[in-house]
Amino acid sequence: MGAGHAHRLYRHGHSPVHRLPAHTKLAAAFAFVVVVVSTPREAMWAFALYAVLLAAVAAAARVPAGFLLKRLLIEVPFVAFAVLMPFVAEGERVHVLGLSLSVNGLWGAWNVLAKGTLGVAASVLLAATTELRELLLGLQRLKLPPLLVQIASFMIRYGDVITDEMRRMRIARESRGFEARGVRHWGVLAKSAGALFIRSYERGERVHLAMVSRGYAGSMPVIDEVTASRAQWSYALALPCAALVVCLLGWTL
Amino acid sequence: MHVPDGFINAPTSAAAGVVAAGALAVSLRGARRELDERTAPLAGLVAAFIFAVQMLNFPVAAGTSGHLLGGALAAILVGPYTGVLCVSVVLLMQGILFADGGLTALGVNITDMAITTTVVAYAVFRGLVKVLPRRRRSVTVASFAAALLSVPAAAVVFTLIYAIGGTTDVSIGKVATAMIGVHVLIGIGEAAITALTVGAVIAVRPDLVYGARGLEQRLKLRVNGELVDAPAAEPAPAPVPAAARSSHRKLWITGLVASLILAGFVSFYASASPDGLEKVAHDQGIDQKEKPHANADSPLADYGVKDISDARLSGGLAGVIGVGVTVVVGSTVFWVVRRRRTDSDAPGSSVSQAA
C-alpha cells in the first residue's frame, strides 16, 4: 500500500489531455481504435497518418516518446507471431533473401503489426493521462453497469494489496530455502495460491462488513459529478474524427 | 493469449462484443444470486486474486514457466457467474490500464477467455461432481478435468472466431492445429495447478469452495472406537446417500453422451477446415496439386466420417488430439469411479470411513 494509488501506466501531469473528462477520452480512444481497425491494410500511408495523429496527442499530453515506446513493449509476443506469419500463410510466394515468403502472410503481418501497435499506443496514452478513479467513473458515465464498475474498482484498489501478499508469501517461501525448479514443486506453489484465495476472500468479507458499518447500501456515492462540456467533447473527439477522414480517404483512394 | 487490435476484423469483433455484453448482463444477475449483497467487494477481491495469481509463475522445465489462466479456478471457487464477472473484469482492466489486449478485441477476449473457459469448466465440473461419489477427492478430480477441457475449449472458440473474421489467411487447419496443440499442453498444466489449488482450499476452508457446496460430511463422534453420528444433526438424514448412488447405467450413459458430444464437437470443428487437408495430404505423400478430395482413399479416410462430406475427412492432428484427450479423461474418470464404487460398496455399510 506504500506505493501510492496511481497505477503503473499513469503519468502525472497537467496538460489539456490530462484535464479532459475521462469518459470523453475513453470514447475517443475507443472510436479511434475502431476506425484504425476498419482501415484497409493496403493503405499504408493511412497508418503513418494515424501514427502522426497519436504523436500529436502525445505531444499535447506532454508524454515523452521514450515513455510511450517503452510501454509499447507489451506487444512483443504479437510481433513474434506476426514475424511467423509470412512463413505459414497460404497463397502466392515471393523470394526475399533466399526465403520463401507468402505475400498474403506479409500483408497479414503488416496488418496485425500496424493495427495492434496503434491500438496499444492509444490505450497507453489513455492510461498515461487518466487517473484510475477518473477512469472508473468514466466507465460508469459511459453506462457500464455500476456493479461491474464497482467490481473493477475493488479489483484495482486491492490488486496491489493482494499482489503484495503474494510477494510476501514468496519471500517467506524463499527464506525457508524453497526454490521452485520444476513440476515437482507445483504442489507448494498451488498451496500458496490456495492460501492466497482464502486470504483474498476473507479480506473481501471484512471489507464488506467495514463498508456496511459505514453505511454502504449497494452503491458507491459519487461525490464529484463530472460532466463534459460541448467544447471538451469536441476537443476529445477531434482525434477519432481526424482518423475517420483518413480512413475514408484510405477506402476511396 | 490476449488478442490485439486488428487481428479479428471489425464486424466479428462487434458481434463478439455483443455476445460478451449479453453474457455479462446474465452474469451480473446470476452473481447477485451467488453472493447476495456482498457481490461487489467479494467479486472485486476475487478478481484481484485472479489478477495476482496470473503472475504466479509455475516453472515447467529448463527455464520455461507457465502461469494460471484462472477461468476454471474462478468458476469452481466462486461459481460460474461470479467467475465470468471476475475474469472479464480482469481482462477489461488489463485492456484499459495495461494495454494488454486490444480495446476493440475486448469482446473477443472476453468471449474467448472469460466466458468459454468458465462456462465449459463449470459444466464439466458440475457434471463430474454429480456423477462421482461425494468425496473431497472427487472435487479435485472434477476440477482437474474441468480445467483440462476448458483451455482447449477456449482455443476452439478462438479458432472459430478466427475462421469467421480472421484478417490473415493462414489456413484454419494450421491455426487449429497450432492453437489446439499448444493449448492441450497448457491445459494439462492448468489442470494440475487448478486441481492442486482447489485441493489446498478445500483442505482448509471447504465452505468457501462454491463447487463443493453440499459435500459437507456430517459430524461424527468416536465412541469406544466406533463412529457414531453426532446427536444434534438429526433432522434431515435421508437424501444425501440416495442422490449420490445413481446407478452404473446412468453413469455410463451420462459419460458416454458427454464424451460423444465433446468428441463430435471437436472433430466437427477440426474437420470443418478444408485446409487441414493440405498438411495431411502432404504428410501422406499425396501430390499437393490434386484436388483435396483426392485423398478420400488416404489412410485417414476410414476415420469414420467418410459419408458426410469431403471437407470433414480432414480429422487432422487437432481432432485426433481432442478426441484422444476426451477418451483418456473419460476412461480415467470411469476407472476411478468404478474403483471407488467397488471400494465403498465392499464394507456393506453406507457409512464412509474417512479414518
Chain A environment of B192 (Cβ under 8 Å): 183, 186
Closest partner residue to A119 among B47, B104, B170, by Cβ? Answer: B104
Q: Percent of chain B scored above 90 by pLDDT?
A: 4
Comparison of pLDDT for A33 and B269, the residue scoring more:
A33
Q: Percent of chain A scored above 70 by pLDDT?
A: 90
**Interface with A, mutate which of B26, B49, B55 (most A CBs under 10 A):** B49
Closest partner residue to B200 among A115, A165, A195, by Cβ? Answer: A195
Reported as type and span, the H/E element at residue B129 is helix B117-131
Rounded to 5°, the CA angle A94-A99-A103 comes to 30
Of A166-170, A187-191, B225-229, B331-335, where does mean pLDDT reach its minimum? Answer: B331-335
According to the model, what pLDDT value does residue B164 have? 84
Closest partner residue to A148 among B24, B53, B174, by Cβ? Answer: B24
A28 and A131 together in one domain: yes
Entry field: residues in chain B: 355
Would you say residue B38 lies in a domain? yes
Does residue A183 register a pLDDT over 60? yes
Would you say residue B52 lies in a domain? yes
A119 and A194 together in one domain: no
A109 and A132 together in one domain: yes
Q: How far apart are the first and last CA of chain B?
A: 45
- Spatial separation of the C-alpha atoms in residues A69 and A55, rounded to whole Å: 11
Comparison of pLDDT for B168 and B196, the residue scoring more:
B196
Reported as type and span, the H/E element at residue B66 is strand B64-66
Chain A environment of B89 (Cβ under 8 Å): 148, 151-152, 155
- Spatial separation of the C-alpha atoms in residues B300 and B295, rounded to whole Å: 8
Would you say residue B130 lies in a domain? yes
Chain A environment of B40 (Cβ under 8 Å): 147, 150-151, 154, 218
A123 and A107 together in one domain: yes
- Spatial separation of the C-alpha atoms in residues B279 and A125, rounded to whole Å: 43
Q: What is the ipTM of this complex?
A: 0.84
Of B3-7, B22-26, B83-87, where does mean pLDDT reach its minimum? Answer: B3-7
pLDDT in tens, B176-205: 888 788 888 888 888 988 998 888 888 888
According to the model, what pLDDT value does residue B180 have? 84
Residue A40 sits at the chain B interface (C-beta within 8 Å): no
According to the model, what pLDDT value does residue B246 have? 45
According to the model, what pLDDT value does residue B174 have? 78
A39 and A82 together in one domain: yes
Q: Are the C-beta atoms of residues B318 and B181 closer than 8 Å to each other? A: yes
Chain A environment of B63 (Cβ under 8 Å): none
- Copy the grid coordinates of residue A252: 476511396
Chain A environment of B4 (Cβ under 8 Å): 75, 78, 112, 115-116, 119-120
**Which of these, B183, B202, B191, lies nearest to B73 by C-alpha position?**
B191
Would you say residue A66 lies in a domain? yes
Of A6-10, A59-63, A136-140, A163-167, where does mean pLDDT reach its minimum? Answer: A6-10
- Spatial separation of the C-alpha atoms in residues B93 and B213, rounded to whole Å: 31
- How far A17 CA lies from chain B's nearest CA (Å)? 17
Would you say residue A30 lies in a domain? yes
Q: Cβ contact (<8 Å) for A37 and B98?
A: no
Q: Among A123-127, A174-178, B262-266, B342-346, which range has the highest average pLDDT?
A: A174-178
A134 and A26 together in one domain: yes
Does residue B30 register a pLDDT over 90? no
Domain residues for the domain of B14 are 10-214
Closest partner residue to B192 among A148, A152, A186, by Cβ? Answer: A186
Chain A environment of B23 (Cβ under 8 Å): none
Does residue B353 register a pLDDT over 70? no
Domain residues for the domain of A248 are 16-138+227-252
Of A105-109, B171-175, B274-278, where does mean pLDDT reach its minimum? Answer: B274-278
According to the model, what pLDDT value does residue B287 have? 41
Does residue B334 register a pLDDT over 90? no
- Mean pLDDT over B299-310 rounds to 41
Residue A157 sits at the chain B interface (C-beta within 8 Å): yes
Would you say residue A236 lies in a domain? yes
**Which of these, A104, A82, A84, A81, lies nearest to A94 by C-alpha position?**
A104
Long-range contact pairs involving B237-244 (C-beta distance under 8 Å, separation at least 24): B240/B134, B241/B350, B244/B133, B244/B134
Comparison of pLDDT for B352 and B173, the residue scoring more:
B173
CB atoms under 10 Å from CB of B19, counted, come to: 16
CB atoms under 10 Å from CB of B228, counted, come to: 11
Please give the residue of chain A at the shortest CA–CA distance from B207.
A198
Comparison of pLDDT for B84 and B232, the residue scoring more:
B84
A95 and A201 together in one domain: no
pLDDT in tens, B112-151: 888 999 999 999 998 888 888 877 788 888 989 999 999 8
Chain A environment of B170 (Cβ under 8 Å): 85, 88-90, 105, 108
Would you say residue B239 lies in a domain? no
According to the model, what pLDDT value does residue B297 have? 43
According to the model, what pLDDT value does residue B280 have? 39
pLDDT in tens, B212-254: 777 666 667 777 777 777 665 445 444 444 444 444 555 555 5
Would you say residue B158 lies in a domain? yes
Closest partner residue to B46 among A118, A127, A200, by Cβ? Answer: A200
Would you say residue A9 lies in a domain? no
Q: Cβ contact (<8 Å) for B52 and A165?
A: yes
Phi, psi of B138 (to 5 degrees): -70, -25
Would you say residue A180 lies in a domain? yes
A73 and A128 together in one domain: yes
- Spatial separation of the C-alpha atoms in residues A52 and A83, rounded to whole Å: 24
The chain-wide mean pLDDT, for chain B, equals 70
pLDDT in tens, B85-104: 889 989 888 888 777 777 88
- Spatial separation of the C-alpha atoms in residues A233 and B240, rounded to whole Å: 61
- Mean pLDDT over B325-344 rounds to 53
- The total number of structural domains in chain B stands at 1
A32 and A155 together in one domain: no
Per DSSP, the three-state class of B61 is strand
A209 and A166 together in one domain: yes
CATH of the domain at B109: 1.10.1760.20
According to the model, what pLDDT value does residue B318 have? 42
A20 and A108 together in one domain: yes
Per DSSP, the three-state class of A143 is coil
Would you say residue B182 lies in a domain? yes
CB atoms under 10 Å from CB of A1, counted, come to: 9
- How far A62 CA lies from chain B's nearest CA (Å)? 19
pLDDT in tens, A41-51: 777 888 888 88
Does residue B271 register a pLDDT over 80? no
Comparison of pLDDT for A219 and B201, the residue scoring more:
B201
Would you say residue B282 lies in a domain? no
- Mean pLDDT over A161-172 rounds to 91
A166 and A132 together in one domain: no
Would you say residue B82 lies in a domain? yes
Reported as type and span, the H/E element at residue B58 is strand B58-61
pLDDT in tens, A52-109: 888 888 888 888 888 888 877 777 777 777 777 777 766 666 777 667 777 777 787 8
Does residue A175 register a pLDDT over 90? yes
Would you say residue A74 lies in a domain? yes
According to the model, what pLDDT value does residue B282 have? 42
- The total number of structural domains in chain A stands at 2
- Mean pLDDT over B61-77 rounds to 79
